[in-house]
Structure 1
Amino acid sequence: MQHGVVTFLTDYGIDPTALARGVEERGFDALFLTEHTHIPTSRLSPWPGGDELPERYRHTYDPFVALGAMAVVTERIAIGTAVSLVAQHDPIVLAKAVASVDRLSGGRMELGVGPGWNREEMANHGVDPRSRTARMREHVLAAKRIWTEDEAEFHGQFVDFDPIWSWPKPVRVPPILIGGGGQTVLDRVLEYGDGWIPLRVPVSGLEEFGARIAELQRRAADAGRGRIPVTVYGAVPKAAALESYAAAGVDRVLFELPDADGDAVLRTLDELAPLRA
């Protein structure tokens, strides 16, 4: 099982390149960033994590810009989003940004995607919250078309463009990791995903989670696909928990880092590093 980290990278926290170097130097396998383009001041949408929205949500870097900087100071680690709210992006611009990061990293970019929870944030981008999952699907499919075809075109309900030229192409088609844990998430993984990235699976729920992983792999085999990797966002940083994740069929865990200054984050990395053994 691989071990990586995920963080809300903020303007008041650790420098992006210092973080990337620190993660790679300590032998981790991956570094993922979250995304919110902005946070509306209305606060009408309840935060799934509780009553008070943490400050970090208002201060995050653009993940693709930050990942581009991280790409050029690292050589080995996977870099990506966990998750990008792709329904809020123009799909043509999204495809170019992701392909550019992939080129800069030598083919290490992974695109984790999710529909999001903040309805006012979506509305500011012209996205109807009721169609955010369907729109996410089309944005991903359109990006894949752009990455793989010299004269790409797409005609859907939400995305519609005639043949275009768009370079650079990625070194490889970036894996699409589908976020979420709802009843239909495995359908999305199997239709247009390359991996599953559920959020904060508790150790107490690993028996049920393991059954879902087994179902995913059975359905993948029935569809003529190989194993679909599973990455857990926000894994419990304890040795016994990691053994349980591996036994359930998890391929990679991501430990959450604090939105703190450089010294504090590097100390956290030092504390987490022995768990890779």
Structure 2
Amino acid sequence: MHIGIFIGRTDETIRPAALAAAVEERGFESLFVPEHTHIPASRETPYEGGGELPRPYYRVLDPIATLAAAATATTSLRLGTAMSLVAQHDPIILAKQIATLDLISGGRIEVGAGAGWNREEMRNHGTDPRTRTRVLRERLLAMKEIWTRDQASFHGEFVDFDPIFSWPKPLQRPHPPILLGGWGRTTHARLVDHADGWLAPFDLPVAELGPGMRSLEALAEEAGRGRLPVTATSFSPNRALLEEFTALGVARALLGVSAEEPAEVLRQLDEYAGLLSVRPPSTTPGPRSTSAADAGATSPATPAAPGRGTE
């Protein structure tokens, strides 16, 4: 099982390049960041986590620019979104941004995509919350067309364009892995249809994660697809939890770091580095074992990324 980092980077905490370098130096496999273009002042949609919306949501950085900075400061770290709100973007523009990012990074990008939860935010982008999952599907399919064809066109209910040329193409073939976020059988059916892996909900209990993975596996088998990799995220990780993830067959665990002062972010990374010795079964390659004491001595080898090369 690979172990990466998730953080809601803001303008009040560690800079993207310094963060990415610190994550790679400590031996982590990946770095994932979220997206919110804005938070509507008149928001009525309740926060999924309950209570008041945490401060970082209002100040989160743009993920494309953040990952571009991270790419230039690292050599092997996988870089991804968790999640890109694709239904709020022009797919032609986003396809070029992601392809450019994959080129800059040397083929290290993963696209975690979700339909979003903030209805007012969606409406401000012209997206009807009632159709957001259908919009998400079409925009992902349109982006795949742009990434994989010299001359691409798409004619759907929500996306419609005649043949176009758009370069660069992503370095990863056929395209960067698409990891779909969400929960439930409907999400898994969509995932099997047009994605390459599952971004499970943050802090999903193991008692629910296991059945969810089995449901996904059954749907993938029915569709003639192989086992799709699962990424699980925890904001209170410990060795026992990561061992449970490993036993379930989770491909990647993302450890949630709070958006604090730079020194506190580095302290959390040092603490989490002690969990890198949690090993997968001997038949599965995993990240280099390291500790806080020797972190940064060498750059980790590039592991096989979950979902790479699947369609």
Please state which band the TM-score falls in when normalised by the shorter chain: over 0.9
The whole-number CA distance in structure 1 between the counterparts of 2:225 and 2:46 is: 38
The answer for the alignment partner of 1:143 in structure 2 is 143
Matched, 1:98 2:79: no
The answer for the alignment partner of 1:53 in structure 2 is 53
Determine if contact 1:199/1:234 at 8 Å carries over to the other structure: no
User: How far off its partner does 1:60 sit?
Assistant: 1.0
The whole-number CA distance in structure 2 between the counterparts of 1:81 and 1:190 is: 19
The answer for the alignment partner of 1:218 in structure 2 is 218
Secondary structure in structure 2 of the residue aligned to 1:231: strand
Which of the residues 151, 175, 178 maps onto 2:177? 175
TM-score normalized with structure 2 length: 0.86
Determine if contact 1:178/1:195 at 8 Å carries over to the other structure: yes
Amino acid at match of 1:93: I
- For these two proteins, the number of residue pairs brought into alignment is 275
The answer for the alignment partner of 1:16 in structure 2 is 16
Determine if contact 1:64/1:101 at 8 Å carries over to the other structure: yes
The whole-number CA distance in structure 2 between the counterparts of 1:260 and 1:184 is: 36
Secondary structure in structure 2 of the residue aligned to 1:135: helix
The whole-number CA distance in structure 1 between the counterparts of 2:206 and 2:261 is: 33
Amino acid at match of 1:138: E
The whole-number CA distance in structure 2 between the counterparts of 1:80 and 1:163 is: 29
* CA RMSD across the alignment: 1.2
Gaps of 5+ in 2: 278-311
The answer for the alignment partner of 1:209 in structure 2 is 209
Determine if contact 2:188/2:219 at 8 Å carries over to the other structure: no
User: How far off its partner does 1:86 sit?
Assistant: 0.4
The whole-number CA distance in structure 1 between the counterparts of 2:21 and 2:139 is: 32
Determine if contact 1:82/1:233 at 8 Å carries over to the other structure: no
The whole-number CA distance in structure 1 between the counterparts of 2:41 and 2:207 is: 40
Gaps of 5+ in 1: none
- Structure number having the greater helix percentage: 1
Determine if contact 1:207/1:248 at 8 Å carries over to the other structure: no
The answer for the alignment partner of 2:188 in structure 1 is 186
Determine if contact 2:154/2:160 at 8 Å carries over to the other structure: yes
Matched, 1:232 2:200: no
Secondary structure in structure 1 of the residue aligned to 2:161: strand
Secondary structure in structure 2 of the residue aligned to 1:254: strand
The whole-number CA distance in structure 2 between the counterparts of 1:142 and 1:259 is: 34
User: How far off its partner does 1:227 sit?
Assistant: 2.1
The whole-number CA distance in structure 2 between the counterparts of 1:233 and 1:82 is: 10
User: How far off its partner does 1:129 sit?
Assistant: 0.4
TM-score normalized with structure 1 length: 0.96
User: How far off its partner does 1:77 sit?
Assistant: 1.1
The whole-number CA distance in structure 1 between the counterparts of 2:132 and 2:218 is: 28
Amino acid at match of 1:133: T
Determine if contact 1:235/1:253 at 8 Å carries over to the other structure: no
User: How far off its partner does 1:219 sit?
Assistant: 2.9
User: How far off its partner does 1:262 sit?
Assistant: 1.3
Amino acid at match of 1:256: G
Q: How does 1:39-118 map onto structure 2 within 5 Å? A: 39-118=39-118
Amino acid at match of 1:20: A
